[in-house]
Every structure is written in C-alpha cells, then in structure tokens.
C-alpha cells in the first residue's frame, strides 16, 4: 500500500514539474536528448533521496539537482565556451512578464541577455523563462531573497538602459544607418 502511495506521489510530482525542468535544461544544454537525460537523472536522484528523507521544496530540489548535473556535464566538456553554446541556437521558450515590454523577438532577447554578466543572465532566465519564484531562486543560488530581487531589478534596469523600452534600440538603429 505504501509503495502505491509513493508511486502516485512521484507520478504527480513528475507531471507537475517535468515540463518546466525540461525547458530549464534544454535552454542550457541545446540538445533534447541530453536535456532529457538530465531531467531523468534529477528525478531519479529525487526518488532515491525521498525514500529516506523529506523534501521540503520539491521544485527547488529538482532544479538545484538539474543545475548541478548541467554544471558537471559542462565541466566534462570544457572545450565549449558559453558564447559558443549560445551561438549554437539557444532559444527562449517564451517572452514573459517584464521582458515582453521590450516587444522584440525571442532571438533578440537572447542577444540582449548576452550583454549581462553570468549571474544576472542566469537569474533572469530562472525568473522569467523558468518562471521560478524569487524564493526558489534564492534557495538554488544559496543567496538571500533580497539579493536575488536586487539582481533582477538591476539587470532589468541595465537592459532598459541599453535597449530603449519603446522598441527603438539605439544600437540597432545606428547599425542600420551605417
């Protein structure tokens, strides 16, 4: 009876989090199969851990595990730089929330995000693409919620300053006229 309950809970957790976790991994891996492998391994690790311990925040556990697996994966493949990875077709799943005010295509968002530092970019991706709450991002990054909120605010401010919100990007306008 207990095994059935655990299986049902696991299936429910998988249904609830698998799509978001896959998007999160795919955005960083740029390879469907590798992203699926990371998601599968994250859920397997959750399953094993949950057999003996309670998990207070399942979503944070899964994303933290996936992030660690992605880091391990890229450490094994050190020949790739972040810029090379982003140039190989990284796509944003959705323009959402504050980023939509720029009214640009998703490929433009990726170009814009590349102008930020790694921490700023990763934080914005987790918040607006992965749709994680600030609390979960803070747990994942092992930082205070305030630090995460300030980073998001400052990163968005930088983007607004660099790329005018009204859609007239001065850098693009200048490059088209020259």
pLDDT at residue 44 in the model? 95
Is the pLDDT score of 33 beyond 90?
Answer: yes
Nearest to 10 by CA among 35, 45, 34: 45
Distance, CA of 88 to CA of 172 (rounded, Å): 22
Residue 107's pLDDT is 62
**Residue-level pLDDT at 84:** 54
Q: Cα separation of 94 and 3, whole Å?
A: 38
- The token pair at 11 is 């299936």
Tokens of 126: 């987790």
**pLDDT of 150 strictly over 70:** yes
Residue 138 has pLDDT above 80, yes or no: yes
Tokens 């556990």, located at residue: 61
Domains and CATH numbers, the chain: 2-79 (1.10.1740), 91-166 (1.10.10.10)
Which residue has better confidence, 9 or 71?
9
């Amino acid at each position: 009876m207990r095994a059935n309950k655990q299986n049902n809970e696991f299936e429910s957790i998988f249904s609830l989090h698998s799509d978001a976790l896959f998007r999160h991994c795919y955005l960083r891996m740029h390879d469907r199969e590798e992203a699926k492998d990371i998601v599968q391994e994250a859920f397997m690790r959750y399953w094993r851990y949950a057999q003996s311990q309670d998990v207070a925040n399942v979503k944070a556990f899964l994303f933290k595990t996936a992030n660690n697996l992605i880091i391990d994966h890229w450490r094994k493949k050190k020949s790739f730089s972040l810029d090379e990875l982003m140039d190989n077709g990284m796509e944003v799943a959705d323009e959402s929330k504050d980023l939509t005010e720029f009214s640009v295509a998703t490929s433009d968002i990726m170009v814009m995000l590349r102008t930020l530092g790694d921490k700023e970019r990763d934080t914005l991706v987790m918040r607006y693409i992965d749709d994680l709450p600030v609390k979960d991002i803070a747990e994942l990054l092992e930082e205070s919620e305030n630090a995460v909120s300030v980073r998001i605010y400052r990163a968005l401010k930088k983007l607004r300053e660099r790329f005018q919100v009204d859609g007239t990007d001065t850098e693009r306008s200048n490059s088209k006229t020259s």
